[in-house]
Structure 1
Amino acid sequence: MKKLLSFVIIASGLFAGLVTAQTKIPLKFEENGKFKIVQFTDLHWNPHSQNCAHTTATIKHVLQTEKPNLAIITGDVVTSRPAEKGWQAIIKIFEEEEIPFAVTMGNHDAEQGYTRETIYNWLNQSPYFVGNKGPEDIHGCGNFVIEVQGSKSDLAALLYCLDSHDYPENTRKYGEYDRIKYNQIEWYRKQSEQYTKSNGNKPLPSLAFFHIPIPEYHNIIGQNTTIGHNEEVISSPNINSALFSSMVDMGDIMGVFTGHDHDNDYIGINYGIALGFGRTTGADARGKLERGGRIIELYEGQQKFDTWIRTAKGKELSYYYPSGISSLDEENLKYLAAKNIKQPQQGVRYIYYEGEYKSTTDLDSKTEVKRGSFPNFTIKEAAVKDHFGYEFHTWIKIPERGVYRFYTYSDDGSKLLIDGNVIVDNDGSHSARYISGKVALEAGFHELKVLYFESYMGEELEVGIASRNMNETIIPEEMLFLPE
């Protein structure tokens, strides 16, 4: 980066009452509307180890290749004595590269004869450190907010850093790892509320960083919007502190990034929030993954970011929030060719059936009641409340080549087919359920078919789309056409 040649001291927090990092270097989006963060985690620095040279080389390679605006280290940084010598070496790396950095503590950092408070006192001596110890009246040390200014405007994004502690007092009773405490969550909620109020009641795009993953990381394993390595059991607290629930409530956090599990680096989406592990950085840390860092690139003014892993071998596992689409999808899915249709007219054709169903395949055996066209997919015109079905047929106009994620939210069963291929299988009798699937499409027209049936009690159908450049939405009428 090598471009911050002087330091500007700015006030702590733009808004009165907010506890923010003592930002010695102004952090702001670039003119291109992007702000890049690198997350390093689990350095496990041992001042006596020859592997420190390898760890240093990894960090410097990532910094020099990616040229981030900010680095955040998410815990287990110096894990052997003498700790002060280790921290001096870590600080020196970022000062030599002239990269602002922040640190959250891990479960091993305060085991080397010094408290978290002492470690933050050391860190605060560096002009490149942009964190602080945080308020004294809540649990932990290192609870703070980093403000990121817009390229041409005021505050544009927030980065929440939290202390995830180490071990509960009674590990037999409460499990091996501690949880983020209630007054920390209350502090986050108050910060978020004040920032949102000061931003015209619109939540600011935000991320959260801490060391120990929260229990919700279990929920994204095996989902089609999850990618990365899942090579060890998640070492989260046994007790759920409801931090994630508060993040959902406040509506500002786009993603949570942790470390702690050395052979996990996966990322996925749970209730609209990305949950991701960093890539283990330290050569002396256990684990078999190639050492490196996670890159997170924010987009100014948008609830959007791209993230990927960077190692000495290159770039891997690119992931695009909020679509849940990844570079693996772009590389591995076969693109379906677009079709030409004559004089397309906006609309969706339907055939309406009545009868009892257990699956969408039963539609073929039922008597047709009515057919016609709608502007979009709807079941509101059904003549009966239960035991009916629809077959919808249309052509969707795809604006640009890429991977698209389609979904149905239905009660009861539904299927979505693109060019004859089943993309979403939400079939069977069930209450309202969301299922999605991905397909790679060339720009132009593609045949879209939706099958739906309602069995008993509750009727619902929603058909949606998302892509790397399109936030998830009900498919707009303007994309749906009928041929001549």
Structure 2
Amino acid sequence: MPKCQSDCLERESQLRKTLHFNRNGKFKIVQFTDTEFCTPDDEELQMKAMMRRILEAEQPDLVVYTGDVISSNKSPNPIQAFKDAVSVPEDMQIPWAAVFGNHDSEAADMTREQLHNLQLAHRFCYAQPDPPNVQGAGNYALEILDEQQQPAAALYFLDSGSYSPLEHLRVGFYDWIRRSQIAWYTDTSYRLTARNGGAPLPSLGFFHIPLPEYNDIWDFSVCYGQKLDKYCCAPWINTGFFAAMMEMGDIMGTFVGHDHGNDFWGTLHGIRLCYGRTTRNAYLDQPFPTGARVIQLTEGLRSFDTWLHLEDGSVIHEQPAHQPEGRRLQT
């Protein structure tokens, strides 16, 4: 088959894949994060076994990998490492999608564009080809349909990049969501809202590196969960993605990884900013069981439920509250 014909068939196959609320009006997502697959060993076999147990127990409608799917510079074969990372939902025939983190493309011979094309080649991957003229690789939106086959919710996936392009000027260490991505998000949101009679679709956002606002909610709001990393390793540059979400009025919550010792969430101006639960070693000097975050949407509601499912099988619905330590400036 000619390559151009093969590429066209693959694109059509991606466009035909659709997500739906189930008969009970629910849609469940399992978020795996920072799996950092690199070399097949006992740790990775145990991680895959844990991922399978969680998926068997939760029976999700979608699996989302929020970055650092692989540790490419530590792997002798990054392509095989990625295939290993996504093999569990692939084998179980569960729809899945991924965004990329800073470790995914550290190897000189592995680009984010190659990784995105690699995920699109998998049978049960529901990611979409990149829009033109948008920074990064792995920017796409997925609709969740109701019984009438109409969009009832949306999921946004964004490439939060890897390392600061201005690091030589000492402007931060990690990358940020760029203006072209924010423009793509707002354009897509406008389109979906217009198709929905002017009402924003209940939506969620997934990316790897936390926004600067994640530091704000921990310092100035009541949060739920743990912050065992000293800092939220957010970019120093704030490009206004949070403001864009507020203006569009559709995204109810965001889900990130990156900081392996953090699993907290908090609400800022009506948007819940959530960490996943690291699926691989948290690199801490204290116990911190690995696992996943689970997110559940209910058709027709502008809200969602979320809980943790850990490696030992325990399910945590109520995370401990953390009182803010910072003080708001008085005006």
Indicate whether the TM-score tops 0.5: yes
Alignment RMSD: 2.2
| Distance of 1:303 and 1:145 partners within structure 2 | 18
Of 140, 147, 169, the residue aligned with 2:136 is 140
2:92 is equivalent to residue 93 of structure 1: no
Contact 1:23–1:131 (Cα < 8 Å) also in 2 = no
- Report Cα offsets for 1:277-305 as digits up to 9, x if no partner: 0000024x524421111000001011010
TM-score of the aligned structures, taking structure 2 as reference length: 0.87
> Structure 2: which amino acid aligns with 1:100?
P
CA offset at residue 133 of structure 1?
Answer: 3.8
SS state at 1:239 partner: coil
Deviates more, 1:166-175 or 1:185-194: 166-175
Determine if contact 2:202/2:251 at 8 Å carries over to the other structure: yes
Report the CA distance shift for 1:139/1:44 in structure 2 as closer, same or farther (over 3 A). Answer: same
Work out whether residues 44 and 78 of structure 1, in 8 Å CA contact, stay in contact via their aligned partners in 2: yes
Larger proportion of strand: 1
Match of 1:106 in 2: 101
**Of 42, 49, 55, the match for 2:41:** 49
Would you say the 8 A contact 1:292–1:312 is kept in 2? yes
Cross-structure match for 2:308: 309
Alignment of 1:408-419 (within 5 A): none
1:184 partnered with 2:184:
no
Q: Contact 1:265 / 1:278 at 8 angstroms: preserved in 2?
A: yes
Contact 2:62 2:95 in 1 (8 A): yes
Partner of 1:209: 206
The runs of 5 or more residues in structure 2 that have no matched partner are 1-8, 322-329
The answer on 1:117 being equivalent to 2:113 is: yes
- Equivalent in the alignment of 2:29: 37
User: How many angstroms does 1:22 deviate by?
Assistant: 2.9
Residues matched between the structures, number:
307
1:73 to 46, 50, 65: 65
Per-residue CA deviation, residues 8-30 of structure 1 (Å, 9 max, x unaligned), is x9998xxxxxxxx9355431001
Q: Distance in 1 between matches of 2:25 and 2:10?
A: 22
- Partner-residue secondary structure (3-state), 1:268: strand
Match of 1:130 in 2: 126
2:326 aligns with: none
- The question of whether the paired residues in 1 share the 8 Å contact of 2:140 and 2:156 is answered with yes
Q: Distance in 1 between matches of 2:40 and 2:28?
A: 33
For residues 32 and 10 of structure 1, what CA distance do their matches in structure 2 show?
Answer: 32
Q: What is the TM-score normalised by the length of structure 1? A: 0.60
Bigger Cα Rg: 1
Measured against aligned partners, the alpha-carbon deviations of 1:445-465 in whole angstroms (never above 9, x if no partner) come to xxxxxxxxxxxxxxxxxxxxx
Local SS of the residue matching 1:204: coil
1-side partners of 2:129 and 2:18: how far apart?
19
After superposing on structure 2, the runs of 4+ consecutive aligned residues of structure 1 that deviate more than 6 Å are 9-12
Higher relative contact order (CA 8 A, sep 6+): 2
Residues 114, 196 of structure 1: CA spacing in aligned structure 2 closer, same or farther, 3 A cutoff? same
What's the offset of the Cα at 1:147? 1.0
